[in-house]
Structure 1
Amino acid sequence: MARKLGGVVVLDFGAINAQMAAKAIRQLNIYCEVLPYTAGVERIQALQPKALVYQRGMACGERTLGRDVPAATAELGLPVLDLKDADCDSTTLKAFLVGKCGLKQDWTTEAFIAETVEDLRAQIGDKKVLLAMSGGVDSSVCAALLHRAVGKQLTCVFVDHGCMRKDEPKQIAEVFRDGFGINLISVDAEARFLDKLKGVTDPEHKRKIIGEEFIRVFEEEARKLGELDYFVQGTIYPDIIESGWEGGKSVKAHHNVGGLPERIDFKGILEPVKYLFKDEVRQVGEALGIPAVITNRQPFPGPGLAVRCLGELTKEKLDILRDADAIFREAMDVEGWAVKANQFFAVLTNVQSVGVTNDARTYGYVICLRAVQTLDFMIAKVVPLPIEFLTKVAGEIATRVPGPD
């Protein structure tokens, strides 16, 4: 949706961070796409670029240095900025792209929304659309875009597998059903999922069970709605980039669905934000009026708290983790540490420790608190939270969260 021709093509030579140059270019409100440097000239020319940027050099990683530009690419005759002789900063990029190549700085959030809504209306017509709502940023922005485009033709299904963070199911209903007026179906499937997960301790096995069961629940709800024409996926641009490098891995499916439901015959797939980076998705969400509690939500795995609750899952353990996590996240916000961390959450270990409360012996779970700084959610470093803050939070959790029976 809203793919713009006539912009810039970044040819990636295997950079450590394949998104680096593209993000810097888009911050100048200039549209660009990333292709592997081995891409054929037909693939490059299809985007009608006005300039090429070679993403290679020491700043991009040593492995980019020994790779040469294919002869056919070099013969295209397009203006080239080679990051092996130039810096990837806004001044250099603007001088080349705007000053030398004459590109316009017109790729804005507002323009993206207007073009995408127009494209969706034209493609969908009077057909029906189904979206799997996870409550994450990507599916939320997709829902808001589709609702603006086709209104009541959109139905969203939210499956609560019992592993969401505290009050998230309620927030999702309040924002999208009550606030936006979206046709949202909420399914409380906690008991069903916990029954399937009984006795399972391996995190990857949990992921697989939750993913498969989610599809089954989703299919059941979809069949109740009758004939549906389009299915919405929250693919974003990093997924596309990852799939394009030397054949790479395939584009990931919807975060919660884990793949297109095979037992439902859709006429087409809609991916409204497939050319946006995560920060751009958040900006679109803000412009669409989605509240910060959704747009600023930290990345959250599809299986939710299931992979942050070690050992076998039980409702009791998940409730303990939910409350402890909420206390920690609230304290991070109140004490001003949230702005210094990109992700922070609690983990319920499968270790229990002896203590004394109100003159009675207790045998409670050990809670781990994690806070990290990261630019790409691949490489991270610890946020140095002060011991006074951690002691205060630990005390709050110990006194406010009921332990196991």
Structure 2
Amino acid sequence: MELWHDRILVLDFGSQYTQLIARRIREAQVYSQILPCTVPLATILAYRPSGIILSGGPASVYEKKAPKISVEVLNQQIPVLGICYGMQLVTHLMDGEVEKAAKREYGRAELLLDDTSDLFKGIGGGKTTTVWMSHGDRIERMPKGFRSIAHTANSPVAAMKAVDAKRRIYCLQFHPEVAHTPEGTRMLRNFVLDICGCKPTWTMSSYVETSVKQIREQVGDARVICALSGGVDSSVAAVLTHRAIGDRLTCVFVDNGLLRQGEVEKVRKTFAAQFKMNVRVLGKGREFLAALARTIDPERKRKIIGRLFIKFFEAEAMRNGKAAYLVQGTLYPDVIESVSFKGPSATIKTHHNVGGLPTRMKLRLIEPLRELFKDEVRVLGKELGIADEIVWRQPFPGPGLAIRIIGTVTEDRLRIVREADVIVLEEIKRAGLYRDTWQAFAVLLPIKSVGVMGDQRTYEHVVAVRAVTSLDGMTADWARLPGEVLATISSRIINEVRGVNRVVYDISSKPPSTIEWE
């Protein structure tokens, strides 16, 4: 049954933020779907979209092998919004002129508004607003029938639209989807709700209904195991799948020796006792540590951990009535950073539950959250009746503390980062900042530094503290923690964690950095 009568298609040209565009549309409670830019016009029209968004991308439209679409996509009287590369492509396809800019424009810029009648309605008090630029090309000559509706000091045409109201084609040189464009969400809502005429009918309750039906159809009478980590993603995936198939689901929790303090006990208490689920805990720490011995490359760490996870899940499936399916809490950010998903975007890093999986895996995957961002998963968790303690838990990487130890993973180095991590979270919670930060954690660096403790020279480990704010994990900014909180964290780690004499604070944003160090 079709639950979403309005649909926005996002054509992906390789932007790292394509999924983020789709997420922003969903914030307006309108269903969005991503397709590669290579799909034919007939496929696009078959979806009967209410609007089309052309994403950004790393190419230049005048390059020989630059990705393109048929100009006929622009001639269907379906509203179109071109973003960054999408704007340049519209210009190129319609005989405008795009050239390399004399000055690359990257970062925040002041956008001067020239037309606030539709796309920029209610924006910037009708005068100016801050936007995020990321481009090396610019529009030198607009296509015939277009006019500029905003500009910056470096871009005379920072936004434009078709003069012919029937065409309803709009273009932005900047990225409205990122958090660095404060009023970008309002711009996208103007496009989706006002220009495209969509109704806000897509909700998490409808998502639950559809997902339960899909899981039942996919599984049939088979048995299923769930890769349970205790984090919000796998927890929501487990509860959603349990709602669909009941006792035919067995949750398998692998204690890989790379977990935070008290993790095993918390999982037993929550899922076996509270949710009455079948939960099996596999103690496999020795096997994981042995496999990771002397491994320092982060990609190799992830793949080793991914393969071992699947090995143990497959063995457990054979003991569990020959289960045929494995449930994972894979999210959109996992996918976009791991593979060229629905478009030619570049690989940033693999995730153990995406790019790290063996190519010949016996279990078939169920990934009910694959199309969702983290904040959507939290809303879904509330819809399913999951307690706040789980729903609002900060993300924890699948490979665990292995990727928060830069370099080799040993028992002693795990002890250091585990004890430091406890202190970071305790102080963040004590300061009432846990819900205000997306993630806060400790990282063990592969260096030692000279210090003085008890009037003696020391040469010990360095711990980095990382705390970021974010809406969905696709972009993030470093958290401006109060100085007294940082001071307490530093003092406690140095005094309570044996082997550490220096603490540093990471003040990098994403991009250009990632949230995790590996």
**TM-score of the two chains, using structure 2 as the length reference:** 0.66
Matched, 1:227 2:322: yes
Matched, 1:156 2:251: yes
Aligned partner of 2:381 in structure 1 is: 285
The verdict on how the C-alpha distance between 1:8 and 1:310 changes in structure 2, with shifts beyond 3 A counting, is closer
Q: Structure 1 regions of 5+ residues with no counterpart? A: none
Q: Secondary structure at the match of 1:289?
A: coil
Aligned partner of 1:258 in structure 2 is: 356
Matched, 1:371 2:504: no
Aligned partner of 2:35 in structure 1 is: 35
Q: Which has the higher helix share?
A: 1
- Contact 1:137 1:294 (C-alpha < 8 Å) held by counterparts: yes
- How many pairs were matched up? 398
Tell me, in whole angstroms, the C-alpha distance in 2 between the residues paired with 1:131 and 1:261. Answer: 19
Aligned partner of 2:74 in structure 1 is: 74
What per-residue deviation string (whole Å, max 9, x for no partner) do you get for residues 299-352 of structure 1?
333221112224433323312321211111111122244455432211223426
Aligned partner of 2:396 in structure 1 is: 300
Aligned partner of 2:234 in structure 1 is: 139
Q: Which moved more, 1:182-191 or 1:118-127?
A: 118-127
Matched, 1:104 2:199: yes
- Contact 2:38 2:68 (C-alpha < 8 Å) held by counterparts: no
What per-residue deviation string (whole Å, max 9, x for no partner) do you get for residues 176-198 of structure 1?
22211111111111122223333
Matched, 1:330 2:426: yes
The verdict on how the C-alpha distance between 1:123 and 1:131 changes in structure 2, with shifts beyond 3 A counting, is same
The verdict on how the C-alpha distance between 1:355 and 1:289 changes in structure 2, with shifts beyond 3 A counting, is farther
Look up the equivalent residue of 1:393 and give its one-letter code. I
Tell me, in whole angstroms, the C-alpha distance in 1 between the residues paired with 2:334 and 2:202. Answer: 21
Look up the equivalent residue of 1:174 and give its one-letter code. K
Q: Secondary structure at the match of 1:52?
A: strand
Q: Secondary structure at the match of 2:370?
A: coil
What per-residue deviation string (whole Å, max 9, x for no partner) do you get for residues 219-240 of structure 1?
2222222322323233333456
Aligned partner of 1:172 in structure 2 is: 267
Look up the equivalent residue of 1:35 and give its one-letter code. L
Q: Which moved more, 1:60-69 or 1:90-99?
A: 60-69
The verdict on how the C-alpha distance between 1:366 and 1:251 changes in structure 2, with shifts beyond 3 A counting, is closer
Aligned partner of 2:412 in structure 1 is: 316
Q: 1:231-250 counterparts in 2 under 5 A?
A: 231-238=326-333, 242-246=340-344
Q: Secondary structure at the match of 2:421?
A: helix
The verdict on how the C-alpha distance between 1:275 and 1:388 changes in structure 2, with shifts beyond 3 A counting, is closer
Tell me, in whole angstroms, the C-alpha distance in 2 between the residues paired with 1:306 and 1:163. Answer: 6
Q: Structure 2 regions of 5+ residues with no counterpart? A: 88-159, 161-169, 177-183, 501-518
The verdict on how the C-alpha distance between 1:254 and 1:43 changes in structure 2, with shifts beyond 3 A counting, is farther
Q: Which moved more, 1:165-174 or 1:107-116?
A: 165-174
Aligned partner of 2:312 in structure 1 is: 217
Matched, 1:23 2:23: yes
The verdict on how the C-alpha distance between 1:200 and 1:123 changes in structure 2, with shifts beyond 3 A counting, is closer
Q: 1:45-84 counterparts in 2 under 5 A?
A: 45-55=45-55, 63=60, 69-82=69-82, 84=87
Give the superposition deviation at 1:35.
2.4
Look up the equivalent residue of 1:32 and give its one-letter code. S
The verdict on how the C-alpha distance between 1:257 and 1:80 changes in structure 2, with shifts beyond 3 A counting, is closer
The verdict on how the C-alpha distance between 1:63 and 1:90 changes in structure 2, with shifts beyond 3 A counting, is same
Q: Secondary structure at the match of 2:343?
A: helix
- Contact 1:5 1:48 (C-alpha < 8 Å) held by counterparts: no
Tell me, in whole angstroms, the C-alpha distance in 2 between the residues paired with 1:263 and 1:309. Answer: 28
The verdict on how the C-alpha distance between 1:3 and 1:223 changes in structure 2, with shifts beyond 3 A counting, is farther
What per-residue deviation string (whole Å, max 9, x for no partner) do you get for residues 145-164 of structure 1?
00111110111211111111
Give the superposition deviation at 1:384.
3.9
Q: Which has the higher strand share?
A: 2
Look up the equivalent residue of 1:312 and give its one-letter code. T
Give the superposition deviation at 1:254.
6.0
- Contact 1:129 1:229 (C-alpha < 8 Å) held by counterparts: yes
Tell me, in whole angstroms, the C-alpha distance in 1 between the residues paired with 2:413 and 2:349. Answer: 34
Tell me, in whole angstroms, the C-alpha distance in 2 between the residues paired with 1:166 and 1:78. Answer: 54
Aligned partner of 1:126 in structure 2 is: 221
- Contact 2:74 2:80 (C-alpha < 8 Å) held by counterparts: no
Q: Secondary structure at the match of 1:243?
A: coil
- Contact 2:330 2:354 (C-alpha < 8 Å) held by counterparts: no
Q: Secondary structure at the match of 2:317?
A: helix
The verdict on how the C-alpha distance between 1:229 and 1:316 changes in structure 2, with shifts beyond 3 A counting, is same
Tell me, in whole angstroms, the C-alpha distance in 2 between the residues paired with 1:248 and 1:363. Answer: 40
Look up the equivalent residue of 1:24 and give its one-letter code. R
Tell me, in whole angstroms, the C-alpha distance in 2 between the residues paired with 1:28 and 1:64. Answer: 31
- Contact 2:302 2:350 (C-alpha < 8 Å) held by counterparts: no
The verdict on how the C-alpha distance between 1:181 and 1:315 changes in structure 2, with shifts beyond 3 A counting, is same
Q: Which moved more, 1:148-157 or 1:40-49?
A: 40-49
Aligned partner of 1:390 in structure 2 is: 486
The verdict on how the C-alpha distance between 1:14 and 1:250 changes in structure 2, with shifts beyond 3 A counting, is closer
Q: Which moved more, 1:276-285 or 1:348-357?
A: 348-357
Q: Secondary structure at the match of 1:126?
A: coil
Give the superposition deviation at 1:375.
5.6
Aligned partner of 1:114 in structure 2 is: 209
Tell me, in whole angstroms, the C-alpha distance in 2 between the residues paired with 1:403 and 1:92. Answer: 51
Q: Which has the larger radius of gyration?
A: 2
Aligned partner of 1:276 in structure 2 is: 372
Tell me, in whole angstroms, the C-alpha distance in 1 between the residues paired with 2:288 and 2:188. Answer: 50
What per-residue deviation string (whole Å, max 9, x for no partner) do you get for residues 217-262 of structure 1?
2222222223223232333334566411138669977628932584
Give the superposition deviation at 1:137.
2.8
